[in-house]
Amino acid sequence: MVTIVQDFIPPGRRNRPGYKLDPKYITIHDTANTQAGADARAHARYLKGSSAASLPVSWHYTVDDKVIYQHLPLENGWHAGDGASGTGNRQSIGIEICENRDGNRAAAEANAAWLVAQLLKDFGLDLDRVKQHNYWSGKNCPRVIRGRVNGWAGFLAAVQSHLDPAVQTPLTGKPEAAVTQAQEWACQNSAHQRFIDIAPVYWHYGQLTGLRPEMLYSQSAHETAFGRYGGAVTPDQNNWARIKVKNPEGDQAEDYETFATPEDGVRGHFNHICAYVGYEPIGRPHPRFEVVKSMPWAGTVRYVEELGGKWTPQLDYGRDLVRNYLSGLLSTAQTPEEPAPLLDNGSEQPPSEIFKLFWWLLRKLKELFN
Ligand SMILES: [Zn+2]
């Protein structure tokens, strides 16, 4: 909940044209004003002042790291640069996000995401109705968000998290699955042997970091097709999470990090997520770790669903992970269900642990010879 201060531009001025607004879109801007003090209140003062009064310049809300100022009621503003009868100017709510250097930009963006979610709900609009100023006029605005890797996708993901707060799967905490359970799940999904073999290392680093190993193991299943790979990353890169190099140029093998050993690749995977949630890395982190650390949301991510728009531009990434991978792992029986026991002793007793182990070994052997 962020405070919204209503401080309207006086009627009758050129920057308050007064056409009724029936919002169909929301347009996002950055103020492009990095001066100290150029916060929401300062922009409200500017819009009400004499220099703006004769200019066709106005918008609906300015958001900084602490508060939101509303400058117009449900009337149009001149902010989209698409003409006097343009859809952007006449059918969208304009929101400016502050860039003042004495403000916390990440907090301002978070507040803006909250405001956008409220407006979408209020006016019954879907997320695809949120547009960049750039969409209407081609201007490089919102320039901060546009200038950042996955910036727009990340902003939309933040909006989405307010619309859909019920879906929350923690990235941190104690494991809710055992290694053997994860390995059984991997087997059932025709995992490559290397993926099954690496599972204990995931649980090891889970214990060291406090991140949930089954979550990262599920993510690796997704990123490497259960260790079968097949994309740009090759198995010898030991890169279980398709982590990029510091400055990738494309989507070739060399654009992805190479780790010295499979175990080191797991450490890199955990370190990468550590940057998302704000945990200290284990040992020396890989170069891309610093890129994540420089993101405004670094250290704030708590839930798998929040990876969407951050790990990749796909907003559904985290939800997909939970739905298509993690939930399968968690629902896999802790011990494998086996066919009829080798020796039918006629009793209803479940097979003993040693029998289960025997069956597991037998299946491993079968896989080796297949
Ligand atoms: Zn703009």
47 CA from centroid of ligand 1 (Å): 15
CA of 25 to the centre of ligand 1 (A): 14
Question: How many A from CA of 137 to the centre of ligand 1?
Answer: 9
CA of 95 to the centre of ligand 1 (A): 9
Calculate how far, in angstroms, residue 141's C-alpha sits from the geometric centre of ligand 1.
Answer: 5
Render each residue's pLDDT in the chain as its tens digit; 370 residues.
899 999 999 999 999 999 999 999 999 999 999 999 999 999 999 999 999 988 999 999 999 999 999 999 999 999 999 999 999 999 999 999 999 999 999 899 999 999 999 999 999 999 999 999 999 999 999 999 999 888 898 899 889 878 876 668 999 999 999 999 999 999 999 999 999 999 999 999 999 999 999 999 999 999 999 999 999 999 999 999 999 999 999 999 999 999 999 999 999 999 999 999 999 999 999 999 999 999 988 999 999 998 988 999 887 899 889 989 998 899 887 654 444 444 444 444 445 566 667 667 777 776 666 5
How far does residue 39's CA lie from ligand 1's centre (Å)? 16
The answer to whether the CB of 286 falls within 8 A of the CB of 259 is yes
Phi, psi of 62 (to 5 degrees): -120, 135
> Ligand 1 centre from 193 Cα, in Å?
52
| Sequence spans of domains, the chain | 4-163, 179-330
From the candidate CATH numbers 3.90.650.10, 1.10.530.10, 1.25.40.10, 3.40.50.300, the one assigned to the domain spanning 179-330: 1.10.530.10
Distance from the CA of 27 to the center of ligand 1, in angstroms?
8
**What is the DSSP secondary structure assignment for residue 233, as one 8-state letter?**
S
Q: pTM of the entire structure?
A: 0.57
Domains 4-163 and 179-330 share a fold: no
CATH code for 4-163?
3.40.80.10
Å from CA of 115 to ligand 1 middle: 17
Residue 69 CA to ligand 1 center (angstroms) comes to 17
Question: Residues 71, 7: contact at Cβ < 8 Å?
Answer: yes
One-letter identity of residue 300: T
The structure tokens listed for 198 are 């690496």
